[in-house]
Structure 1
Amino acid sequence: MAIKVYGDPGSGSRRRVTSAAAIMGIEIERVNIDLFKGESHTPEFLKLNPHGLTPVMVDGDVVLYEASAINIYLAEKVGSDLLSTSPAERYQILQWMFWSGEQWRIFATLTFDERIAKRFMGQPEDNSIVQLAADKIRAAAAVLDAHLAEHRFIVGDHLTLADIDIAAPFSQNARTKVPFSEFPNLVAWQQRLLDTVPAWAETKQEVDDRIDSALAGAGIML
């Protein structure tokens, strides 16, 4: 029985799981959940994740939400080096994954909610929130840019789950206009992932097609 992953094709978080699964050669069954239609808040879905968020993974009796937790589960299931085989390197990967959640992705998501999601609800963005998020992103990006000046990948000499977690906000940056372009090492690293990790490039196209179609369907011009 294939592992099921529930989520919206336009979600950067689902992208983290589907791309990681593809890299690890793990067969998954994608179950599309239309976030724009509120399908993550049906009684059936809320039994999987009471927060009404995606992605959610179902592997037999195992139900997990939060993309980072799902990817760690999948990597451990198959013994993937995306989580490293070195204990010391593994803790570095986990450190950066936790950093991404605390210092990085949360502010990119906040920007998406203000600049994109609110448009679907006919609400204006709150410029003070957008500015706060931009300031937080710049502070974190400065640290990341300095790190990437000396590293091709976030940890070690190859792609890991840390790269996938930290790259996730690039899924929407063309639309949200978060200030990534101010940091050349960060931009170069993201392009390197697109050039060398086929699954990352393929899932980018999937996200772009989904969000651009939703925007066009709602008559929203960015």
Structure 2
Amino acid sequence: MSIKIYSDLGSGSYRRVAAAAKIMGVEYERVNIDLFKGESHTPDFLKLNPHGLTPVLQDGETVIWESSAINLYLAEKVGSALVGRTASERHQVIQWMFWSGEQWRHFFVLLFDERVAARAMGKPQNSAIVELALTKIRSAASVLDAHLSNRQFIVGNELTLADIDIAAPFSQINRSKPPLNEYPNLVAWQQRLLDTVPAWAETKHDLDGRMDTFFNGIGVEF
């Protein structure tokens, strides 16, 4: 049975899985779940992920949600170096992936919800939430900018899942407009990924096409 991944092309979380799978040469069937039509909250989908979120991986009897967990599963399945080449690197990769979920990506989701999703639904943004998100993003970005001052990648000397996890918020920066341009090392690192990792550039194109089509359709510009 082939691997299935349930997703929407406009999801930054799916972009992480799609990019990693391309890099690792993992083939799968993408099952489209239209988030804008609420398809992630149908009874059938909620049996896969009770949180109603994408992406979800199904590999035979194995069902995994959360992009980081999916990427670790795929990397272990094919023996990919994206999890690090040594035990020390693996521990660092996992450390940064956990950090990304706790201290980084969460606040970009809050910003997206207020500056993008709320606008799409014709609702006012909550300025208190926006200020909290910006404060937390700047705090974490300062740590990353310092970390990247003398290195090309988050861990070791090559791309790992840590880079993919931490790069994810750049997927929506033209819409949610976080203050990432204040951090030159972080900006240079992201551009380096786009220039040297074809899968990262390709998935950006896919995501932007999906999001632009939707927002153009409802007459919202960013």
TM-score (norm 1): 0.99
Aligned residue in 2 for 1:40: 40
Unaligned runs of 5+ in 2: none
Aligned residue in 2 for 1:56: 56
Aligned residue in 1 for 2:215: 215
Q: How many residues align?
A: 222
Unaligned runs of 5+ in 1: none
Q: CA deviation at 1:218?
A: 1.0
Letter of the structure 2 residue corresponding to residue 130 of structure 1: V
Letter of the structure 1 residue corresponding to residue 134 of structure 2: A
Aligned residue in 1 for 2:9: 9
Letter of the structure 1 residue corresponding to residue 71 of structure 2: N
Aligned residue in 2 for 1:188: 188
Correspondence list, 1:57-76, <5 A = 57-76=57-76
The CA deviation string for residues 21-76 of structure 1, in whole angstroms up to 9 with x for no partner, is: 00000001111111110000000000000000011000111000000000000000
Aligned residue in 2 for 1:197: 197
Q: CA deviation at 1:120?
A: 2.2
Aligned residue in 1 for 2:113: 113
Letter of the structure 1 residue corresponding to residue 6 of structure 2: Y
Aligned residue in 2 for 1:149: 149
1:162 aligns with 2:168: no
Letter of the structure 2 residue corresponding to residue 128 of structure 1: A
Deviating above 2 A after TM superposition, structure 1's stretches of 4 or more consecutive aligned residues are none
Letter of the structure 1 residue corresponding to residue 160 of structure 2: T
Q: CA deviation at 1:128?
A: 1.5
Letter of the structure 2 residue corresponding to residue 23 of structure 1: I
Aligned residue in 2 for 1:30: 30
Letter of the structure 2 residue corresponding to residue 84 of structure 1: G
Q: Secondary structure at the match of 2:150?
A: coil
TM-score (norm 2): 0.99
